[in-house]
Chain A
Amino acid sequence: MKVKLLLNGRERIFSVHANEYLLDTLRNHNILSVKKGCDASTCGVCTVLKDGKPILSCSMLTARCEGANITTVEGLQDEVNKFYEYFGQEGADQCGFCNPATALTVIAMKKHLKDPNPESILSYMVGNLCRCSGYVAQNKAIKKYLEDKS
């Protein structure tokens, strides 16, 4: 079946099987920032934005995305660069496998949470697992980025 998406601002038509998930569709079409970590909606590294909201692409059938606006870091380079300023400054990056997903979630959170506090930030981020960093440096970077109103 054919599915039309607005992918990173460009209209794209993909031919997919009913059983195909958005994660595989994207990776098969060279959107490689989206990673396969658990493939079972538990780790967060496959996060993309669907109509501006973070979702787990491993658990979203591509066929259900007809007409959706899908954004990955490939389509948000300026904002990711801005977030990375704080991330790099805190030395929060290690292997980086989860970082595109983290960036997308944080960027969405900045729009979504009107008055972020430590608890609401953690509730938003808790599904993005990282095995390298110990989280604390990441959380510092996230806080600084959220405070940046420029």
Chain B
Amino acid sequence: MKTINKEIRSVDGRGIMLGRPAFTDDLADPSSLVVKVLRSPHAFAKIKRINKSKALKLPGVEMVLTHQDFPRKPFTRAGQGYPEPSPHDKFVLDEYVRYVGDEVLAVVAADEATAIAAMEHIDVEYEVLEPVLNYQQAMDHSSVVHPEEEIHEMFPIGFEPKRNIAAAYGMDFGDLDKAFEASDVIVEETYTTQAQAHVMMEPHSVNARLDIQNRLVIYSSTQTPFHVRRIISQALDIPMHKIRVIKPRVGGGFGGKQAIHGELLVAWVTYKTGKPAKLTYTRKEVFESSYTRHPMTLKIKLGADNEGNLKAIDWYVLSNTGAYGEHALTVFMVAGSKVLPLYNKVDAARFHGHVVYTNHTPAGAYRGYGAIQGNFALESTVDTLCQKLNIDPITFRLKNMILEGETSPVFEIMGEGTEGTAMNMETCKLDYCLERGLELIGWKDKYPRVDLGNGKVKSVGMALAMQGSGIPYIDMGAATIKLNDDGFYNLTVGATDIGQGSDTILAQIAAETLDVDIERVVIYSSDTDLTPFDVGAYASSTTFVSGNAVYRAALNMKDLIVKEAANILDVEPEQIVFGGEIIHVKNSDTKLSMKDLSNRITYNEDQKQLTATSSYYGTKSPPPFMAGFVEIDIDKETGEIEIVDYVSVVDCGVTINPKLAQGQVEGGIVQGLGMAHFEVVKYSEKGQLITNDLLKYKIPTSKDIPKLTTEFAKSHEASGPYGAKSVGEIGIDTPPAALANAVYNALGVRIKDLPITPEKIVMAMQYKNTKEI
């Protein structure tokens, strides 16, 4: 291997640091009209009247768009496979506003100051309605968040809007009653997980212009350019062939840009006026008016026999999707489908629940996508169960967890809103990950706790996790490779680099297959006119799905070159040895350089353009696995936690680029620690977002993270490109449960609602002490 599993630098990092214009707002036409959205001050209201006449008279105001200006067509903003498993419950603008920050109308003006001034001249009269602000009481609430008749599901997802239910699902296997009867110990616990904000550093941004063919060219900070094109076409009745979506560099996504933001308004303005337009969210809009992680309540019951065999899992989940149902069903299902198979030896299991509407900021896709919520509940309860069984939690996990070559019935039953796909774990180094992690964290010297004598206790806690590698039979990625004169290649992919480094690793896969240095493969991605299709950056799919497409395209290109070389050298193709820059004839001194070959077919003889396109969809989704361990020093009096180290041992197959893979894991760990420890989206009693800026919503800083220890298991997934699985999400899943388990190991208190703040720990200890007295 020349390029794979080697320390190759990212293809774009230097240029970005040097400040080259690269992000969406950097590329807006300087003469763009500015689109500003007037947002609802009410959690739930019906718009009675809008007076925009004063605003329209202001110089520089181009137009004011209200719900009357748009086709009345429900759609979903979720960027997912089509037809989407999310309900079509959103209009570009509507006569109802469903959360504080929902879109009332859009002002279009020559510049931002004018647009803001114009908003102050618009009177909106609302009929304020009673909002649904507590998701525990949302189902069958007297207020219906979505009373409109046109909304619908694309296929059965349990959609019952009149009951405030966006989606529902249930599955079971085995005889649950019998399995619990056969259990000597049963534990039943309820956990709650909070909304989390993505806080990608680049706010959502979009701009549009018309090109010389009168087509709409849209630059968008998105994870899903092809889905954006489709949704714009469908929602605005603009023919798809009139739309080109370009994704420039994206300043972080984490799922938060896996749904439409300002694209529809900006596309409409440019399409109607012919003028360039742009809309970049303020940080307040990013917090209030984009998406959050789905808050969930997870009620879980585990049964095991005295020998420590896990027999049964019964699980009910209530998920809060907020005002709109983007990713409602699928995030909730992943809480089961990418967690339950960890313990595949159970006799019976049930997973069921509801996803409800409330008048809060919509929930949407967020790295981990349900798995982090489910993992917190299951991996916390496993430790509680072990304590009741008086069995070491490591021993218990080694006995019950999924191993290489095994399967789980869950894979076949549960898919992405539909049935799943049966598969065996061709690679699963979970046993290695666990054992190695114990060594790295120094478990035997620190478990369960060491009193440090200065008012602090050192402890360790751990959790196992799995994710997936794309969605089988749904996620498709494609790649095209073009040979140029001088013998270098263009690689075009639909795959979407949002900072995770997919341009780099896909170029590596092509370079390895074509046996050239990475500089000889020039990658260009995510342009709906110029690159082949790809679903986009989500579901941990890019390395596995798009990577396989690139690998196949490169193999095809190699075949084409061999055929050309055989023709030029007048031998059979079987005689040709492809050596990257040099082509040999077997058992002969005859050589041909790629430079000569490409120049010849470009300029001199039998001229032609060589291109190879291939695409890939998974017929399975090999999960990456990991064991995560946290070491903390915790203050016995104040509950303050110092994260000393976080050890991750990950099986993601072969790492195409070890440093970038490490970055994916560590970035996920730190986001997961933020959720585990202090990040929380808070609302006032009236439904206003309190945490709407970075003074009130805190994310981890460099001072919070002294040490991360990350290793990869030796693993080779035969179905992946060069043995790779995916790695984008797996890092985020373990921190909540690992931290909860470490806190329990330190102080004997079990925190079941995230985040695990020092205050909750102190209050739990006080409660425990009063009970013990």
Contacts and interface: CB of A to CB of B under 8 A. Distances in A.
Interface in B642-659: 657-659
B201 interface: yes
Contacts of B252: 94-95, 97, 131-132
Interface residues of A, number: 52
B94 to A, nearest CB: 28
B12 to A, nearest CB: 7
A100 B663 contact: no
Contacts of A88: 9-10, 13-14
A131 B662 contact: no
The DSSP consensus for interface residues of chain B is: loop
Contacts of A59: none
Interface stretch (A60-68, A73-81, A109-117): A73-81
Nearest to A130: B201
A73 to B, nearest CB: 4
A33 B667 CA distance: 23
A136 B707 contact: yes
A99 B16 contact: yes
B526 to A, nearest CB: 14
B702 A95 contact: no
A123 B9 CA distance: 28
A134 B701 contact: no
A33 B19 contact: yes
Contacts of A72: 19
B23 A97 contact: yes
Given A138-B702, A139-B702, A131 B200 contact: yes
Contacts of A80: 17-19
Contacts of B695: 40, 42
Contacts of B190: none
A125 B17 CA distance: 16
Contacts of B12: 96
A97 B251 contact: yes
B475 interface: no
A133 B694 CA distance: 18
B7 interface: yes
Contacts of A33: 18-20
Interface in A22-38: 32-33, 35-38
A105 to B, nearest CB: 11
Contacts of A100: 16-19
B199 interface: yes
A37 to B, nearest CB: 5
Interface in B191-247: 198-203
Given A73-B19, A99-B13, A91 B201 contact: no
B669 A96 contact: no
B670 A84 contact: no
B379 interface: no
B293 to A, nearest CB: 14
A126 B18 contact: no
Interface of B: 7, 9-10, 12-14, 16-23, 25-26, 198-203, 249-252, 254, 280, 282-283, 498-501, 657-660, 662-663, 666-671, 693-695, 699-703, 705, 707-708
Interface of A: 32-33, 35-40, 42-43, 45, 72-74, 77, 80-81, 83-84, 87-100, 102-103, 122-123, 125-139
